[in-house]
């Protein structure tokens, strides 16, 4: 094949994949805006399969709206570190909040801060206020037991992102107690060294 033929084929390949994913992204965005979240989720999943990496965050936000926080956390790829933007971080925080990962949620909401517009900043502040009321007192041992049990359960289900998130929460909650109740166990689970 001469060079022109090669380039023509290359142009077809390069332009074939992108628009398909974009069409699904756009369809998902419209569905999301109209609160048709189940349809939006399908579109984002398809877009993800077609090679649109940002679709994971969009699917996560959609799962938050569908009140499926655990799947949302997995779609976001976990709760550590800052996300792509403040808006995504807000949705990640809501997923964490719904999953009772209050310390993780509070950390994400703190990162939203000034990076977002007034509406999201206001909502983040209100949510942090609510979380603050829960965190005003040290957790009882049973609460840490609960987080560790979630960690173990998710580990058994081969959902490492969730398992680590719950163990991380357990460890941070344990640090809020003077006796550091079950701290070492929680820390081991958070870094994935537990069997």
Partner 1 sequence: MTKSWKYAVAAAGLIAAGRGSAQEAGAAAHQAMHDAMHAQATTPEGAPAMPDHATPGAMMGNHQGMPGMAGTPANGAAPAQHGAGQAAMPKGMPHHGAQGAGMHAAGANHVDAANKAAMGAAMGGGPNGGGARGPAMMGGASSGTMMGSGAGMDTPAMQQNMQQMHPGGMPGGSGGGMMGGGSGTPGTTTPGSMPGTTMPGTMTPGTTTPGTSAPGTMTPGTPSPGTTPPGTTMPGTPPPATPLPGTPAPIGPTAPAPMPGPHH
Residue matched to tokens 């009321």: 133
41 contributes a contact to partner 1 by CB under 8 A: yes
Of the candidate residues 56, 83, 89, 91, the single one contacting partner 1 (CB under 8 A): 91
Decide: 127 and 93 in contact? Cβ < 8 Å.
yes
Of the candidate residues 117, 118, 178, 195, the single one contacting partner 1 (CB under 8 A): 117
Least Å distance, CB 184 to partner 1, is 19
Q: What tokens were used for 175?
A: 């640090």
Q: Is 178 helix (H, G, I), strand (E, B) or coil?
A: coil
Residue 139 and residue 190: Cα distance in Å, rounded? 18
53 contributes a contact to partner 1 by CB under 8 A: no
Least Å distance, CB 178 to partner 1, is 17
What is the phi/psi pair of residue 33, to 5°?
Answer: -60, -35
Least Å distance, CB 80 to partner 1, is 19
**Binding to partner 1 (CB under 8 A): which residues in 137-176?**
139-140, 142-143, 145-150, 153, 157-159
Least Å distance, CB 195 to partner 1, is 19
**Binding to partner 1 (CB under 8 A): which residues in 15-34?**
15, 18-19, 21-23, 25-26, 28-30, 32-33
Closest CA to 109 of 78, 80, 86: 86
Residue 40 Cα to chain centre, angstroms:
17
């Amino acid at each position: 094949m001469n060079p022109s033929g090669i380039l023509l084929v290359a142009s077809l390949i390069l332009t074939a994949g992108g628009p398909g994913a974009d069409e699904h992204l756009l369809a998902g965005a419209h569905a999301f805006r109209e609160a048709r979240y189940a349809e939006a989720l399908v579109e984002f999943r398809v877009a993800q399969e077609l090679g649109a990496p940002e679709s994971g965050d969009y699917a996560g936000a959609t799962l938050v709206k569908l009140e499926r926080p655990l799947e949302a956390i997995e779609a976001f790829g976990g709760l550590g570190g800052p996300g792509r933007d403040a808006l995504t971080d807000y949705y990640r925080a809501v997923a964490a909040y719904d999953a009772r990962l209050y310390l993780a949620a509070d950390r994400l909401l703190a990162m939203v801060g000034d990076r977002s517009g007034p509406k999201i900043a206001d909502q983040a502040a209100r949510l942090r206020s609510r979380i603050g009321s829960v965190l005003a007192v040290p957790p009882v041992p049973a609460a840490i037991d609960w987080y560790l049990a979630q960690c173990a359960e998710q580990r058994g289900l081969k959902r490492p992102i969730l398992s680590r998130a719950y163990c991380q929460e357990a460890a941070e909650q344990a640090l809020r107690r003077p006796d550091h109740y079950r701290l070492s166990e929680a820390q081991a689970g958070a870094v994935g060294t537990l069997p």
